[in-house]
Amino acid sequence: MVTNAEKPRSSLPPLPPVRRRIHLNIGWLLVAAVIGALLCYPAYMLASALVGSSYLKQGTESVQAGRYDEARDQLNSAMQWSDSSSDAYAARYDLALRSGKLELAINDYSAIIADHPSRYLPYCYRAEVYRRLDKPDLAFKDYHSCLDREPDHIWQMSAQNSLRTLERQGID
């Protein structure tokens, strides 16, 4: 039997505690992230389209009921959510014509431009309002801004025709 006094002493220091390493396979983690993004992006786009169309429907109903202030707020929200659909912008333009408050429409389109400067629709509609208010120099500038953002074919043709008309009137 060996006692403590008889045990040989080691001159080596004690071993450090064992640390467990977690081995993550980065490749699988990246694949999972890509799949998650691919599944979430369409859901986000669908949700934003639904929210925008919901605001548009409420705004249109408010216009028809004659509640113009309420309709303005709802249509402004619809424009914020709408990327390329001109329905919300057209409804806001229609509201401005019905209520006779064209200056408010300019403010609303300007707010959308400040939040989303790459969208062409607010420039196009703001230019239309400027023409109604007999401010052709500002309309000319906005039509050019609309064309700089590569609008769809219909707005491209409309803006080009409007620019030609304004140029014939001596606006540069």
Helices and strands of the chain, counted as H and E runs: 7, 0
Give the pLDDT confidence of 44-94 residue by residue, as tens digits: 777 777 888 889 999 999 999 999 999 999 999 999 988 777 899 999 999
Q: By the 8 A CB rule, do 63 and 91 touch?
A: yes
In a domain, 25, yes or no: no
pTM: 0.72
Residue 132 tokens, joined: 């109604």
Q: By the 8 A CB rule, do 129 and 105 touch?
A: yes
In a domain, 160, yes or no: yes
In a domain, 56, yes or no: yes
| 158 and 123 in a common domain | yes
In a domain, 14, yes or no: no
| 95 and 146 in a common domain | no
Question: How remote is the C-alpha of 47 from its chain's centroid?
Answer: 13
Q: How many domains does the chain have?
A: 2
Identity at 79, one-letter amino acid code: M
In a domain, 162, yes or no: yes
In a domain, 122, yes or no: yes
Give the pLDDT confidence of 5-34 residue by residue, as tens digits: 566 666 777 777 777 776 667 777 788 888
Q: Where does a domain end: 52, 73, 100?
A: 100
In a domain, 11, yes or no: no
Task: Quickly count: other Cβ atoms within 10 Å of residue 64's Cβ.
Answer: 10
Structural domain that includes position 60:
33-100
